[in-house]
Amino acid sequence: MMNIQEIERRVHEVLHNVNWLIEPHDSSAELIAIKGRKVILRCVGHCAFCESDCIRVAFRERLPEVKLVLQ
């Protein structure tokens, strides 16, 4: 079971990779809060409304144990 520091470290790793991919689309994602196993992100730009849902897919693949909330 991961502690909050480990979850935060892994969230930042995923965000680093996701932002590298979505930045060319004038988009970004940032961590707002971690509440237990719930990770709240703010997404801005075109990718925030994209149907391919890359951000959610990346988190599902790399951190399946967290519940992702996108704002």
Amino acid residing at 41: L
Tell me the C-alpha distance between 70 and 48, whole Å: 8
Domain span at 66: 4-70
| pLDDT for residue 48 | 81
Q: Which token pair is 70?
A: 């996108």
Give the separation between CA 20 and CA 24, rounded to whole angstroms: 8
The pLDDT assigned to 67 comes to: 96
Please give the average pLDDT of every successive group of 10 residues along the chain, which has 71 residues: 91 96 94 96 89 91 95 90
Please give the tally of structural domains in the chain: 1
Q: Which two tokens stand for residue 1?
A: 């079971």
Quote the pLDDT of residue 2: 82
Do the Cβ atoms of 40 and 32 come closer than 8 Å? yes
- Tally: H helices and E strands in the chain: 2, 3
Domain harbouring 36, CATH code: 3.30.300.130
Sequence length of the chain is: 71
